[in-house]
Amino acid sequence: MKYILLMTGTRGGVDTYRAWSKQDIDSHMAALQSLNKELKNSGEFVATQGLAGPDEAKLIRGEKNGAPVTDGVFPESKEFLLGYWIVDVANPERAYAIAGRISTAPGPGGVPTNMPIEVRRFAEHAPRES
């Protein structure tokens, strides 16, 4: 079963993250990379990506003539996707356990961020990666 683990945050949360010390960012990234390696070794790893910051985010609708209407204004409470992991696991509990691991990645001073990770299953009928 494939699941996507979504890490999201508000603009305020991203600003706080950007103020972390280099050491804090390095240990955070090291913990996540170590998890990636474990997932690769267990055969559960499918993909991971980080997204550019919320300041670059745009919302698009199509006009009648098909031209894009671009909007870059979001409510302050808007949860922006920061990055994701796609995992192929035996059951939802395993997806929750991996999400829990991501949630324990260290933040400032090495204290776990305890950040919420949204876990969603892929629909079976969806088109797959090429």
Lookup: tokens for 111: 């204290």
With CB under 8 A as the contact rule, the residue among 18, 19, 43, 56 that binds other proteins is 56
| Options 37, 91, 109, 110; binder of other proteins; rule CB under 8 A | 37
Dist CA 7 CA 81 (whole Å): 6
- Vertex 96 angle, CA 94 and 101, to 5°: 95
Alpha-carbon gap, residue 119 to 130, rounded angstroms: 23
For position 81 contacting other proteins by CB under 8 A, the verdict is yes
Positions touching other proteins (CB under 8 A) are: 2, 4-6, 29, 32-34, 36-37, 40, 45, 47-52, 56-63, 66-71, 77, 79-81, 83, 86, 92, 96-97, 99-101, 103-104, 112, 114-123, 125-130
